Amino acid sequence: MTKLEISTKSAKSAKSERSEKPAEQWGNGLEFLFSCISLSVGLGNIWRFPYIAFQNGGGTFVIPYLIALLVIGRPVYYLEISLGQFTGRGVVKAFDMAPLLKGVAVGQVLATAASITYYSSIMALTLRFLVASSGSELPWSRCWESWGSDCHDGSAGNGSGKMSPAQPYFEREILHEVPTIDNGVGVPNWQLVACLALAWLVIGGVLIRGIKSSGKAAYFLGVFPYVVLLILLLRAVTLPGAIDGIIYFFKPQWSELLNPLVWYAAVTQVFFSLAICFGTLITYASYNNFNRNVYNDIVIITTMDSCSSIIAGCITFGILGNLARETGVSDIGSVVKGGAGLAFISYPEAIARFEYVPQMFAVLFFLMLFVLGIGSTVGMGSCILRVVRDQLGLRSPPIWKLATGLAVMGFSVSIVYMTPGGQFVLNLVDFYGVSFTALILAIGELVAVAWIYGGYFVTKIKFPIFFWKTINSS
């Protein structure tokens, strides 16, 4: 078969089993497509992919990532979309097919809840940068006297071994970062808390009207980021030394391909970038028409997702190549400190080097990051709200109450990331609460669908490949 579609022969019986038809459905197929694009092509690609690639050796990471995307990512994407569309239920109710493993679905919702808290903190940082970009001069375009002599803005002197202005600006002026959290995480920064409140206000505002609102917003959320990305790509590749960085991004260290940690990072990044094994895709697909053919949608979404990650990588590593030349560092892998803040160092550095109206491009870029955050967090929030509705048996609840409650709780929890030690907490939650958890839960999901429910499920679904039938028969 070349298409994913509900089997006509079994459609009638399957429809009768879809007893809990959702009160809401997408307005049309394009709303579903663009909603999935804004969910999958989000902060996981533009913010997370570059720093994970940087931590794992650039080209050494890209090869395992692409392999994992094709071998694991796309098949699981098919699986989750078809499962959500087939059952018409949220992720926890969908696991009624295998009650013994319903805890897997609960775990996915908890991982999604953890993700939405720190994704909202990234949105808060983008708003803080957005405000800083509105002045007559970008504050990270030059070194401040208070930063000392370890900053080099390229205007004079030898910059060997020194930081570009974007790094101390982010760490000292935005985060007020502390070197360790031995003495606690510190007191939240009121400016970042205000930005966080605004971020949750927007998230809650989109969620309040349900998928009818988020579906309409998805047209903008799915298209606008690509315009800004292409502008940044053109600028990044024309910077002196950018080619060296891009070569580093694509050139693998073959010996490191045997490192299991690199493969672990690649697989978990695929989960993040495609938003699989978090329950969000099952939720989105549950609002589809039962007979909708989503094969073309899935091909478009997964292709755009991988291309977005590669474009983001080229931009980031092109900028790092330029920074390496400017600061006299021969090893691109050590030109800046890695971590979750890499995007807030490399991208602003490139924008500061724009000859004409860099402030305008800075505003566009951070607005793009914020828009990407909306697409990701709205999908996560929709998943959580759907689970609450399903578990409480609420067919048509006042959605604004649930959305408001989620926004208030999410804001309260996310404040911890707005402290001087917040980045340490973010890294802990990212690894132990989300990445590692998603990998374990993915195994449970495959067991539930392929072995426990598999024979019955496969007879009702026509897959574009025989992969899942092979799993089930084994």
The pLDDT of residue 199: 97
**Residue ranges making up the domain that contains 302:** 5-473
Q: How many domains does the chain have?
A: 1
Q: In whole angstroms, how far apart are CA 21 and each of 97, 120, 136, 289?
A: 16, 31, 54, 10
**What type of residue sits at position 267?**
V
* Least confident piece of the model among 407-411, 436-440, 470-474: 470-474
For the stretch 212-234, what's the b/e string if a residue is b when 16 or more beta carbons lie within 10 angstroms of its beta carbon?
Answer: eebbbbbbebbebbbebbebbbe
Q: What is the Cα–Cα distance from 226 to 224, expressed in whole angstroms?
A: 6
> Which segments are annotated as binding site?
41, 45, 273, 372, 376
Place 473 in a pLDDT band, splitting at 50, 70 and 90: very low
| Residue 136 clears pLDDT 50, i.e. is over it | yes
Please provide the average confidence, as pLDDT, over all residues in the chain. 82
Contacts of residue 375, Cβ cutoff 8 Å, sequence gap at least 6: 35, 37, 38, 39, 41, 42, 218, 221, 222
Place 467 in a pLDDT band, splitting at 50, 70 and 90: very low
**What type of residue sits at position 150?**
D
The pLDDT of residue 3: 40
Q: What is the Cα–Cα distance from 141 to 350, expressed in whole angstroms?
A: 10
Of the chain, the percentage scoring pLDDT greater than 70 comes to 85
Q: Residue 241 belongs to a domain with what CATH number?
A: 1.10.4160
> Which segments are annotated as binding site for Na(+)?
41, 45, 273, 372, 376
Q: Quickly count: other Cβ atoms within 10 Å of residue 86's Cβ.
A: 23
Backbone angles phi, psi at 462, to 5 degrees: -100, 115
The pLDDT of residue 194: 97
